[in-house]
Structure 1
Amino acid sequence: MHQRLGLIVPSSNSVMEVDFYRNLPHHITLHVARMYLKDTTVEGEEEMLDIHFPRALQDLVTVQPHAIVFGCTSAGALRGNAYDKELCRQISEVAGCPAVSTVASVRVTLKNRGIKRVAVVTPYVDALNYRIEQSLRDDGLEVVVIAGLGIDYNFAIADVPPEEILAFALKTIDKHSAEGIFISCTNFRAMEIKDRLEYLTGLPVVTSNQAALEEALRVLSDIETHK
């Protein structure tokens, strides 16, 4: 069965759809709508959610997706977990299909892998790191350390080389007793260094794009099974 996966991303994101289409099975096609965003700041993401998200959703609905991923980790955490859940309910109501939250997928993946004490690596400024930390803590996870690169221009996040992400992650978790590592941001090339980071640290690693993709594939598989 051919299935269409919808993806809503910030307009300046150049990584998430690439990670997805490199790893999607052949029977699933990817269809992307973009929400205008230049600055990875609280103010920029507030505007993206309130003004540009509804337009992107309306556009994406016209391709009749079987499921939709909301592809921004920090925006999903921005106003708390209850807001993120309501955002997904709104997507499902408008589109008539299941909605997948990136930040909720991360929390589920961490728990499913038995990770309670997590070290968090991000490209963000502190104000967004705080929202990510709260989202994890509010779901019962313990954040032993969180560190960001302080980048507030979203396009520049994608320019960070994978080797730099790897080095920053190793530096961040040094001397912290974490059970696993979470690398946040759908515009961060973290999937490319996930396996190496696991090998070097001996810890499981979860990335935003990996978790969202796994959840999307699970949802689409359930749809196919129950047809």
Structure 2
Amino acid sequence: MSLASPSLRPDCRAALGMITPSANLVVERVTCAMLADFPEVSGHFSRTPVFGARDLHPDDYDWDGMLTAARLLAQARPDVIAWNGSKGATLGFATDRELCRRVTEETGIPATTSSLALEAALARLGARRIAVVTPYVTDYQAKLIAGFEREGLEVVAQAHSGIADNLDYAAVPDDAIAAMIRDVAAAKPDAILTWCTNFPAAYGVDALERELGLPILDSVTLAVWHGLHMVGRADFRGRRWGRLFDGIAP
């Protein structure tokens, strides 16, 4: 029996499958909160090992872990499988395209990632000058910025929390995130990225966009937004999650 998702469901419902890092506490929370505005779309989750303060695969993906997670999701026959993880920005968007190719070849299901969703959103915004806000330590922040610059993006400002352990990213307070966003906004970038899918920045995006007059692209929100577009469901119902839902289609 094929694991490929049906192109049309008789009840007009859709399902998004999300692969998340194993130490992540944010992806499920934000995805479920966002999908509350889209009651015809359900979210389903699988995990791949990413935890602690040391990446066991610093320059590549754990392909076995990723594809195992995708295979498990495919058993539920979602319409889309998304890697809701931010590592592709350090590896290169081409690596994420290869990940999507392998997931689709393995499961028959269309795939996307947070990084490819970012690429689509920046293209639609015409944004090349970015500011980057993360929970990361200095060395990883530098690696991330170098990754964005290889993609032709100009990083005009950056801020980071200096946290090493993956699990602790989820505990950065709202006021600390907002302060970093306000700080980088002074550089007047085309867009601000809150980058790390275990970083709870999504909840403050709408209010800060209205305050600062700048688009803020959150890595978790991006993956959900792109998945919703892939199933033809993204619309103004998601506006409380930011400008992404102001008709910015990939």
Q: TM above 0.5, one fold?
A: yes
Cα 1:103/1:131, change in 2 over 3 Å: farther
Task: String of CA shifts for 1:196-226, please: whole Å, max 9, x gaps.
Answer: 221332211111122211111110118xxxx
* Structure 2 counterpart of 1:161, one-letter code: P
Q: Which residue of 2 aligns with 1:141?
A: 153
> Which residue of the partner structure matches residue 113 of structure 2?
101
User: What is the alpha-carbon distance in structure 1 between the residues aligned to residue 17 and residue 200 of structure 2?
Assistant: 21
TM-aligned CA deviation for residue 126 of structure 1: 3.1
Q: Which moved more, 1:145-154 or 1:37-46?
A: 37-46
Within the candidate set 201, 215, 223, 1:190 is matched to: 201
Partner of 2:6: none
Superposition pairs for residues 112-151 of structure 1, below 5 Å? 112-151=124-163
Alignment partner, residue 168 of structure 2: 156
Counterpart among 31, 34, 51 of residue 38 in structure 1: 51
CA distance in 2, matches of 1:77, 1:42: 15
1:9-24 to 2 correspondences below 5 Å: 9-24=20-35
Q: Name whichever structure is richer in helix by fraction.
A: 1
Per-residue CA shift, 1:126-163, capped at 9, x if unaligned? 34323432343233321112222121211111111222
Distance 2:111 2:41 in 1: 16
Tell me by how many angstroms 1:113 deviates: 1.7
CA distance in 2, matches of 1:69, 1:111: 19
2:226 pairs with 1:215 = yes
Contact 2:169 2:199 in 1 (8 A): yes
Change (3 A) 1:220 1:86: same
Aligned amino acid, residue 19 of structure 1: V
The one-letter amino acid of 2:89's match is A
What is the percent sequence identity of the aligned residues? Answer: 30
Q: 1:48 to 1:35 in 2, by over 3 A?
A: farther
The normalised TM-score by structure 2 is: 0.80
The answer to whether the Cα contact below 8 Å between 2:85 and 2:114 also exists between their aligned partners in 1 is: yes
1:64 to 77, 82, 85: 77
Aligned to 1:225: none
Residue 81 of structure 1 corresponds to which residue in structure 2? 93
Q: Secondary structure at the match of 1:88?
A: helix
The 3-state SS of whatever aligns with 1:182 is strand
Cα distance in 1, alignment partners of residues 126 and 94 from structure 2: 23
Instruction: Identify which range, 36-45 or 197-206, moves more after superposition.
Output: 36-45
Shift of 1:92: 1.1
Structure 1 residue 193 displacement after superposition: 0.9
> 4+ runs of 1 displaced by more than 6 Å?
none
Alignment of 1:28 onto 2:53: no
Describe the shift of the 1:93–1:40 C-alpha distance in structure 2 as closer, same or farther (beyond 3 A): farther
TM-score (norm 1): 0.88
Aligned residue pairs total 220
The whole-number CA distance in structure 2 between the counterparts of 1:130 and 1:192 is 26
1:201 aligns with 2:212: yes
Shift of 1:11: 1.0
For structure 2, the residue ranges without an aligned partner over 5 or more in a row are 1-11, 234-250
1:119 and 1:146 in contact (8 A); partners too? yes
